[in-house]
Structure 1
Amino acid sequence: MKIRKIILLLALGLLLLWSRSYLSDLFWLVIALEACIVTYIIFSVIKGVISLKNRTGIDFSNNIRIVLEQKLGKSFLVEFVITEFNVFYYSLLVWIEKSRTVDHNGKAFTYHRTSEMKTFIIVFAILITGEGVLFHYLLQKWNEVIAWVFTILNVYGILYLVGFYNSTKHLPHMISGEKIIIRLGFQSSISLDIENIEQLNRAKEIELGMKIPKSTYYSLLKLDSPHFEIVLKEPVEMRGSYGMKKMVDKVVFRADDQDAILEEINLVKTLDFKSHANQRSL
């Protein structure tokens, strides 16, 4: 039986026991069992991620997805857990890992160095900290529990911002074989076949307040300048945090080394064209 089925059964038992105060001892026993199961899942996931990383060299974000989907299947719950793992890993644990500009699985292209992301993160972290201190002081006079809940949410917000910025350093754009992966940290990504690219144009600046079309994946902060716009032959699925998905036919992104990524994409397209031409001539 899958682990998630066991957890659902225990959760059902927990609800039943909650309504029966005379079974309080069993209630705490169930809580202890659930804590053991959750601890087991966490350690087994970490063990699986480390094992995969040693064998494949794939980044943490993809490893955690592979391990969790193997254990729990595909669901919104899994997507939620993956996002939370990413937040805490990239905010607290990623410091021991070097950011990648070269990857044995393909060529990596950074996009955070010339971005305004760092300034954005610092400003909002300061605002959240100031707001947290002020509201904690005010709410504590009314209800101490609510004050601490609000403070914990503010701390989580700061961890999310720090994790997001760190993930942009450790999750660069990738070109491997005939595929290109465009990312915005752990927050969103899209994997494209380069032969599915109809056009690769220089992107235009968006006007202040202008809405981005739903069919466009805008892989950068709005305060940054876009560099490239990819027009696709066929729509492709973009994946975001917490299981968000949508089909897009345009991808707008930026890269620190614009010439290098443009040269690599054109090189792959040229090689792909020659390969197809040789196959037709045989």
Structure 2
Amino acid sequence: MKLMRKMILFLVILIIPLTCYMYIKNVDNLSNEANLTINLLLVVLFPLLFWLLFKRKIFFIFSGFLIGLIFDFFIIPSGERLYFNYILKAAVLIEISFVLFMLNNIRITVKEMKKHKNETGLEFWDRLDASMSRWLENPLARGAIIMEFKTIYYSIVASFKKPNLPEGNLFTYHKKTMFKTFIILMLVLIPFDAIIFHFLLGLWSEILAVISTVINIYAFFYVIALNNSVKYLPVVISNDKLTINSGYTGKIVIDFDKIESLVNIENKDYAFFDKVDKGIFKATVGIDEPELELKLNQSIKYQGPFGIQKWVNSVLFRVDEPQQFKKTLEEALNKNNSEAMY
């Protein structure tokens, strides 16, 4: 049912602006009645749809209004934006309300963060996620917001101030691979791609050229964030847990008693572009291939990019020192089992 509602919303969002755009392009002069109808349709219908098809939260009403306003701006010709300008004046009041709404949510989040501060086992991003759940229930929405915060943090903040490394036995997974070459290649290709596509799309549409450039700028910061995050988010063996990170885009925390076995991947069938089977988490970055498979005796939830969470019973990953990793993990498992017996 939820999937059907989302599909309906997607089709409406796609069809209505497209219909309005095609109508305007096929008429010589846009009448006042048609102009007003299109303006109201775009700025009123989207908040209503978001209210009906999602959980009835103020956040979704604001989001729908903003989307409708953006469509309205690009669809209505610049010389016929009389009604749009009136709506824009009303939008200022709505924007002020939205800012106050968000400031209140920030206040709630900060208050909740202080409550979770002393909880053991919760990292900063986990505390932020738990705190945001008070006003944003959808885990995918929270994950997407936190992902953007992480991108800003690891691309900008971490470039000037080194984050603290986690406690425990740390194992890198990017020094003896093609990861550095991949990062350098992407940092060279992305600006080149941005210039070429901006020029080519600009010959057709300035709007698409700007959108393409913004996407490339985001991709540039994403690559920098990925490069920085692999340095400060290693694979960690602690007293009773194994944490496997794939940069800041993926993470799984495994209790020792959930580990069944650790084996080498001999056939090398898991290349970068290969799709893994359901129930498998491929925790590699860039174009690296996994070399180890950790089998679990029961399913565990992993955290993927943009709030994606899935249950898995096998993890594919790699470390730069696999033999040392196996030895350290075996010692930690034996120690944990010995302590559990007493």
Give the shorter-chain TM-score range. Answer: 0.7 to 0.9
> CA 1:57–1:139 in structure 2 vs 1: closer, same or farther (change >3 Å)?
same
Q: How many residues matched?
A: 273
Letter in 1 for 2:302: M
Give unmatched runs, 5+ long, in structure 1: none
> Would you say the 8 A contact 2:179–2:286 is kept in 1?
no
Which residues of 2 match residues 3-82 of structure 1 at below 5 A? 5-8=57-60, 10=62, 25-38=89-102, 41=105, 60-82=124-146
Q: Which has the larger radius of gyration?
A: 2
Match of residue 160, structure 2, among 80, 96, 108 = 96
User: What SS class does the counterpart of residue 114 from structure 1 fall into?
Assistant: coil
Identity %: 27
> TM-score, normalised to structure 1's length?
0.80
Match of residue 134, structure 1, among 190, 193, 196 = 196
1:107 aligns to what? Answer: 169
User: What SS class does the counterpart of residue 192 from structure 1 fall into?
Assistant: strand
1:224 aligns to what? Answer: 288
> Whole-Å Cα distance in 2 between the matches of residues 269 and 68 of structure 1?
35
Which range is displaced more, 248-257 or 152-161? 248-257
Match of residue 186, structure 2, among 115, 120, 124 = 124
> CA 1:224–1:141 in structure 2 vs 1: closer, same or farther (change >3 Å)?
closer
Deviations 1:85-111 (A, max 9, x none): 11121112212332555x34x333222
User: What SS class does the counterpart of residue 183 from structure 2 fall into?
Assistant: helix
User: What SS class does the counterpart of residue 191 from structure 1 fall into?
Assistant: strand
Deviations 1:228-276 (A, max 9, x none): 2211111212220122222222112112333443233212211232234
**Which structure features the higher share of strand residues?**
1
1:191 lines up with 2:243 in the alignment: no
User: What SS class does the counterpart of residue 72 from structure 1 fall into?
Assistant: coil
> Would you say the 8 A contact 1:14–1:30 is kept in 2?
no
> Whole-Å Cα distance in 1 between the matches of residues 220 and 67 of structure 2?
34
1:245 lines up with 2:297 in the alignment: no
> Would you say the 8 A contact 2:295–2:314 is kept in 1?
yes
Match of residue 150, structure 1, among 204, 212, 225 = 212
1:267 aligns to what? Answer: 331
Which range is displaced more, 257-266 or 52-61? 52-61
Deviations 1:114-173 (A, max 9, x none): 232221122123222212101111222322222111101111111111111211112122
> TM-score, normalised to structure 2's length?
0.67
Letter in 1 for 2:256: I
> CA 1:96–1:56 in structure 2 vs 1: closer, same or farther (change >3 Å)?
farther
> CA 1:251–1:93 in structure 2 vs 1: closer, same or farther (change >3 Å)?
same
| CA root-mean-square deviation | 3.5
> Whole-Å Cα distance in 2 between the matches of residues 183 and 16 of structure 1?
39
CA shift at 1:183, angstroms?
Answer: 0.9
> Whole-Å Cα distance in 2 between the matches of residues 46 and 92 of structure 1?
22
User: What SS class does the counterpart of residue 252 from structure 1 fall into?
Assistant: strand
